Amino acid sequence: MTVSFAQEFLDDVVDEIKPLLVLHWAEIAVRQDKIKLNPDWPKYEALEAQGALRIFTARELGQLVGYFVTIVGPGLHYKDHLFAENDVIFLKSSHRRGLTGVKLIKFAEACLRQDGVSVLQINTKTHQAFDPILQRLGFECFERNYSKWISD
């Protein structure tokens, strides 16, 4: 089957994204016993209204099989450049073999470049990393993130 790629608006895809987001959370989220999935949809809507939210989709026969969501804006330390920060990226397990993920990232990159973005940053979970794919696409690992649960 052929997969198609598009940039879509939140209102048009939110109902389709929600069930995939639950699968995504169950697969990669850490501290699931303490932090439950609870997206701030009004904040996403506000980001889209500001022109900062970009949603890229992968569809097969019209059905959503993956998404790549970024937040775009000037860097706090580099105001002369637009940065696209990856919020979430997910592809159904049935579509992870082959080039669907690569094509989704390349499609998003092309769209973001047309929008004047200088830097695209993608984060991965260490327990579900896809670093070799990102490296083949020309991404470099240049920063590490550490996390610690500090609440009671």
DSSP annotation of 68: E
Distance CA 68, CA 108 (A): 8
Q: Which two tokens stand for residue 139?
A: 């991404």
**Cα dist from 109 to 21, 35, 113, 130, whole Å:** 22, 31, 6, 17
d(CA 141, CA 122): 10
User: Contact 58/94 with Cβ under 8 angstroms?
Assistant: no
pLDDT tens, N- to C-terminus, the chain (152 residues): 799 999 999 999 999 999 999 999 999 999 999 999 999 999 999 999 999 999 999 999 999 999 999 999 999 999 999 999 999 999 999 999 889 999 999 999 999 999 999 999 999 888 888 999 999 999 999 888 888 999 98
Side-chain half-sphere CA neighbours of 73 within 13 A: 11
For the entire predicted model, the pTM comes to 0.94
